[in-house]
Structure 1
């Protein structure tokens, strides 16, 4: 497991090798700096988004540096980024808090990095990175972009006020769902003309329905019977994902349909609490904790229904990946979920924090294999049509080119 130095300084983890010389009349590649609070190698949706973006932007037109304000964690098998892409370098700048010594030193290091490398575009995601991006000194011709990945549930009142005060420092604010942009307009007074909507995209080649033989093999490895209806949840075990509501709903479901299983994909700080709830409800043997897995696409394809009980969402990669695997989706009607899940067509929407409504929706799909197949096919078609990874990367490429005057 590679780790970054403990000292708060920019430490290159991966240096790109030399690239072939360009023709004299070709424009210089755009220098893109991507700032993120978390390790790009982590298994979360925001990290997966950044990996996909950096890996797929045209290598002949971009030189990309990723600075993460955290230690590096172990890589997953779906990560082809470190050391594998010649135009991408990854650097680590771990900090404890923005307002402490390590934060001030990190800001100083970033300012020196910008001065030395003269980036054309600086894009940040998450709270610490956004704050640093807003405070960095400006250079003529450089563009600063804030990429908002969620509804801001982590922001304190002070941080909201500070964001509102500093938002004028960003040339553009981009988000994956229109609900996020609407919230930013209302809570942070960002003018609509400075906001851009670019929905998340999913790799429809990696995430796709499995062949019957492969699906049967994975189900057997999970101990799922031929007639068992398997519900799965792809989400970190954190408070906002509301696994307790899901487990409670599943317990109600089992009273009507005994041959069901719940598969939880993802680790997190609440795993002990959720495991205790499972035991208290007598669900041991019916609920599987699989933790963080690199083969999530195979596991999803072995399920029958995907469920997300979150109290807040930006635009969930878990929903997109589930839909791409041909699964009907049950999700709470919050944030970008409303854009992704077409109620009664590709899945079912339920109110947040309502285990009874969640259990009723699960019962509908548990009792009807035909409905599951129909909704799953609809979900797959919609992802292919509207939420491909290529479309997402192309939209960012177009935005960068417009902002840099390359069109």
Structure 2
């Protein structure tokens, strides 16, 4: 089991530990880079931005990094419940739960983080998501340290007021990183972000963990999932939240199922819309054709059993779900938004459709059903592109180079 020690920072007056008695202070050992990561969500959850952070933190070389991750939420699951690589003793996980960054709780959180920064003497403070970015921006600067904002999506949760505020705060970051170029274009347009401060580092995928299965293993997996030999199985790996637009997918799949009764749809993920999604499935008479599998720790065991993957979000950064499906040799049907436009090459590795248009989505799904050779060709192209351009090693190496460049280290 990975050795990753969770603890909690209490954002109140009880936090009076001095710098000479704090056992968890990050000390520079042998020139290691001392990295503090702030994130709004629990990195133990199954979302794409959380998987990205786990992958990055786990693979930064422990002989060159000491890392503290502070998540602005409660730790809800044990590390034994997640699929993580071994050997991450160089990372400490902590929680600083706050509901909102404004008001008293936000001020207390900022004070606790200031004390942590003063004790830890971090070389780099990196944040992702809105609350973490705000706290990072307001933390005092220390000589020789750098600040990084890691923007993971198109900013669909940001209010107009918050976008306006970031116009005055973005200069406090030495670099803003994003996994998709449309995110950076949006920052330049809406938050007046300077091009010289921005950098594109695409997400990476573990191509050994996510890869096609041999035919015999694929048949066994399909049998375990209750898929018949002639079933055409589509899969959507996404949280059951409004932005993922499962309602459009189910409406489109209903049209497809009427023409192709052996079509099946597997939904992997959980979230607040589970009940209405279930109700929609039942209302359309799809209970036997659509299965909600919930959150799965071993999605790599399900993907190779599918015939194609689908993602119909109304907005998207750079989807790990799409990357992982492509790595497993699957063609992808996705909406033409955000990072999907960079990942899915229309007609080569999959099909792009407009967002909020179930009819166009149904036509794309039907096209894949009707053309099995095209599915195979697209899946092979998808796998080849991931190996060529989106490996996990390349992503980690890019961040490693960035950290050293910003610190002026070789």
TM-score normalised by structure 1 residue count: 0.94
Alignment of 1:55-204 (within 5 A): 55-74=58-77, 75=79, 76-80=81-85, 84-204=87-207
Alignment of 1:197-236 (within 5 A): 197-236=200-239
User: What is the rounded CA distance, in whole Å, between the counterparts of 2:64 and 2:6 in structure 1?
Assistant: 30
- Cα deviations across residues 197-222 of structure 1 (Å, max 9, x unaligned)? 00000000000001222211111111
Task: State whether residues 324 and 380 of structure 1, in contact with CA within 8 Å, keep that contact through their aligned partners in structure 2.
Answer: yes
Task: State whether residues 9 and 94 of structure 2, in contact with CA within 8 Å, keep that contact through their aligned partners in structure 1.
Answer: no
User: What is the rounded CA distance, in whole Å, between the counterparts of 1:50 and 1:203 in structure 2?
Assistant: 13
Alignment of 1:208-357 (within 5 A): 208-357=211-360
User: What is the rounded CA distance, in whole Å, between the counterparts of 2:303 and 2:398 in structure 1?
Assistant: 28
Task: State whether residues 151 and 177 of structure 2, in contact with CA within 8 Å, keep that contact through their aligned partners in structure 1.
Answer: yes
User: What is the rounded CA distance, in whole Å, between the counterparts of 2:182 and 2:110 in structure 1?
Assistant: 31
User: What is the rounded CA distance, in whole Å, between the counterparts of 2:116 and 2:11 in structure 1?
Assistant: 14
Give 3-state SS (helix, strand or coil) of 2:143's partner.
coil
After the TM superposition, list the runs of 4 or more consecutive aligned residues in structure 1 that deviate by more than 2 angstroms: 2-10, 15-19
User: What is the rounded CA distance, in whole Å, between the counterparts of 2:26 and 2:341 in structure 1?
Assistant: 45
User: What is the rounded CA distance, in whole Å, between the counterparts of 1:284 and 1:86 in structure 2?
Assistant: 45
Give 3-state SS (helix, strand or coil) of 2:333's partner.
strand
| Cα distance, 1:211–1:18 mapped onto 2, change above 3 Å | farther
Task: State whether residues 68 and 92 of structure 1, in contact with CA within 8 Å, keep that contact through their aligned partners in structure 2.
Answer: yes
Cα offset for 1:16? 8.3
Partner of 2:54: 51
User: What is the rounded CA distance, in whole Å, between the counterparts of 2:6 and 2:395 in structure 1?
Assistant: 31
Task: State whether residues 40 and 47 of structure 1, in contact with CA within 8 Å, keep that contact through their aligned partners in structure 2.
Answer: yes
| Cα distance, 1:118–1:236 mapped onto 2, change above 3 Å | same
| Cα distance, 1:5–1:120 mapped onto 2, change above 3 Å | closer
User: What is the rounded CA distance, in whole Å, between the counterparts of 2:214 and 2:167 in structure 1?
Assistant: 50
Partner of 1:380: 383
Show structure 2 runs of 5+ residues with no match: 16-22
Cα offset for 1:348? 0.2
Partner of 2:18: none
CA-based RMSD? 2.0
Partner of 2:396: 393
User: What is the rounded CA distance, in whole Å, between the counterparts of 1:214 and 1:17 in structure 2?
Assistant: 48
Show structure 1 runs of 5+ residues with no match: none
| Cα distance, 1:4–1:95 mapped onto 2, change above 3 Å | farther
Task: State whether residues 206 and 297 of structure 1, in contact with CA within 8 Å, keep that contact through their aligned partners in structure 2.
Answer: yes
Task: State whether residues 3 and 71 of structure 1, in contact with CA within 8 Å, keep that contact through their aligned partners in structure 2.
Answer: no
User: What is the rounded CA distance, in whole Å, between the counterparts of 2:322 and 2:109 in structure 1?
Assistant: 35
Q: How many residues align?
A: 396
Task: State whether residues 264 and 289 of structure 1, in contact with CA within 8 Å, keep that contact through their aligned partners in structure 2.
Answer: yes
Task: State whether residues 4 and 71 of structure 1, in contact with CA within 8 Å, keep that contact through their aligned partners in structure 2.
Answer: no
Cα offset for 1:7? 4.5
Task: State whether residues 312 and 335 of structure 1, in contact with CA within 8 Å, keep that contact through their aligned partners in structure 2.
Answer: yes
Task: State whether residues 177 and 315 of structure 1, in contact with CA within 8 Å, keep that contact through their aligned partners in structure 2.
Answer: yes
Cα offset for 1:128? 0.3
Cα offset for 1:58? 1.3
Task: State whether residues 179 and 318 of structure 2, in contact with CA within 8 Å, keep that contact through their aligned partners in structure 1.
Answer: yes
Give 3-state SS (helix, strand or coil) of 2:408's partner.
coil
Task: State whether residues 332 and 349 of structure 1, in contact with CA within 8 Å, keep that contact through their aligned partners in structure 2.
Answer: yes
| Cα distance, 1:70–1:205 mapped onto 2, change above 3 Å | same
User: What is the rounded CA distance, in whole Å, between the counterparts of 1:48 and 1:99 in structure 2?
Assistant: 27
Give 3-state SS (helix, strand or coil) of 1:151's partner.
coil
